[in-house]
Amino acid sequence: MKLPTRTFFMLVGLAGMLVPRAAVAYPQWQFSSGTSRCNQCHFAPAGGGLINGYGRDASADDLSTWKGSGDFAHGKVELPSSLALGFDGRLAATSHDAGNSSGARHAVFPMQADVYARMAFSAEWSASVTGGFRGQSRADTTGQGDDNYAPIGASRAISREHYLMWRPGATGPYARAGRFFAPYGLRLAEHTSYVRRDLGFNLLEESYGVSGGMVEGDHEFHVTVFGPDFVRQQGARDAGVAAMYEQRLGDVSAVGLDTRLGFGKETTRMAGGFFAKTFVEKAKLMLMAQGDFVHSTFKFAPTATTNGSVGYLGATYFPCKGAWLTLFVEERQTSLAVKDTLTTAYGAQANWFPFPHWELVLMGRAQAPAQTTSPTNTVLFFVHYYL
């Protein structure tokens, strides 16, 4: 079935009405699925977001336990070659125990409802929009911290990403401008990871910026000049520059460097470090690591500085087609000079893709600050459907 032109643009318009949790790429699929670059399956140059035709074919033939159609709308709708659409929906249930006398808190909530639209104007130019609905696990409408300056009830609709891109080919140079995450580090899907949350890549912390770089078969680099959200006061409020370089070693490994310098009203923060990933085919094991040093200075106390660090180490085992199990450990230390500022987290996560368009995820995480005697425990289960 081929849709009329009017219907195309009605669906594109829905992207601004239906509405998030960020849908980023799973780095576990790199190398383990036979692909070496994240942008082989995604339209974005560094991966994440809407998947392209190659990614849909891979989800149908290689990444799911049982085969089926990975095409948009399960192949029931034929889109023109210049238009790509998609949808991500997640329904979650969670149990969170912080050791309070009231006991664990339980919640069932819509985690994500995002619509994606990409329009190609020519072989080089395209525009991408992600529109969604802000889910929340708590019923109150007050602010939730640095990632939410406005009450949730007043800002349900959100467009986390929207940008114009020049990209002549699947490899080679590119440039884009708009709202998106600067490419950085492992680019884990889990926003609770310290290497995301504490480095400026938490939920709704996408920034406005201009990014450019080069993606080749054995390496890629990205440089992004970014600033705060000038449309709505959500997310990080700093401005600066971020850069990432990844060198692939054959078809099974990669190492990289990253750095980010952000200037805020009260704090200047400089971060930088390394990341690495390798797939051991015989053992069906993916190993990933990232470590970043963080130096912060404070404008109202120029002599007061802190040096901290964040790190991630994870191992993913692929027992059968379409499933994996990940064990990980994380550390964050807000000040290397103060021992009691260390927090350690341990976790396990199981992902299963039974059919194309479906994913089931079960995750457990224990977070233990050095100054406490009992960890904070979180169990999360969600069902993910993508169109």
* Residue 311 binned pLDDT confidence (cut-offs 50, 70, 90): very high
Q: What is the mean pLDDT of residues 245-265?
A: 94
Confidence at 386, pLDDT banded by 50, 70, 90: very high
- Greatest alpha-carbon pair distance for the chain in Å reads 67
pLDDT at 110: 85
pLDDT score of 154 more than 90: no
Residue 307 has pLDDT above 80, yes or no: yes
pLDDT tens digits for range 158-215: 888 999 999 999 899 999 999 999 999 999 998 889 999 999 998 888 999 999 999 9
Q: What is the mean pLDDT of the chain?
A: 86
Q: What percent of the chain has pLDDT over 70?
A: 86
What helix, strand, coil percent values describe the chain, rounded to 5?
Answer: 10, 50, 40
Give the pLDDT mean for 65-75.
92
pLDDT band at 234 (very low <50, low <70, confident <90, very high): low
**Lowest model confidence (mean pLDDT) among 28-42, 135-149, 262-276, 362-376:** 135-149
Cα 359 from Cα 238, distance rounded (Å): 35
Q: Which two tokens stand for residue 283?
A: 């053992």
pLDDT higher than 60, residue 148: no
pLDDT at 17: 32
Look at residue 25 in the predicted model and tell me its pLDDT: 72
- Residue 246 confidence (pLDDT): 97
Instruction: Name the nearest CA neighbour of 202 among 38, 365, 22.
Output: 22
Question: Residue 330: what pLDDT?
Answer: 97
Query: What is the pLDDT confidence band of residue 371, given thresholds at 50, 70 and 90?
Result: confident
Question: What's the CA gap between 268 and 145, in Å, rounded?
Answer: 19
Distance CA 46, CA 183 (A): 6
The answer to whether 202 and 196 have CB atoms below 8 angstroms apart is yes
First to last CA, the chain: 16
Q: Average pLDDT of 309-318?
A: 97
Contact criterion met (CB below 8 Å) for 293 and 274: no
Residues 333-349 have a mean pLDDT of 91
- What pLDDT, on the 0 to 100 scale, is given for residue 96? 87
Domains and CATH numbers, the chain: 5-386 (2.40.160.10)
Q: Indicate if the pLDDT at residue 21 is higher than 50.
A: no
Portion of the chain with pLDDT greater than 90, in percent:
60
**Under 8 Å CB-to-CB from 289, ≥6 apart: which residues?**
275, 276, 277, 311, 312, 313, 314
List the one residue out of 198, 203, 202, 191 whose CA is nearest residue 333: 198
pLDDT given at position 135: 57
pLDDT of 360 > 90? The answer is yes
Among 226, 261, 188, CA closest to 30: 188
Read off the pLDDT of residues 71-130 as tens digits, 9 standing for 90 and up: 999 999 999 999 999 999 999 999 988 777 777 888 898 888 899 999 999 999 999 999
Q: Which residue has the tokens 């990014």?
A: 211
* pLDDT exceeds 90 at position 16: no
Strands (E), 40-180: 83-97, 105-120, 125-133, 157-166, 172-180
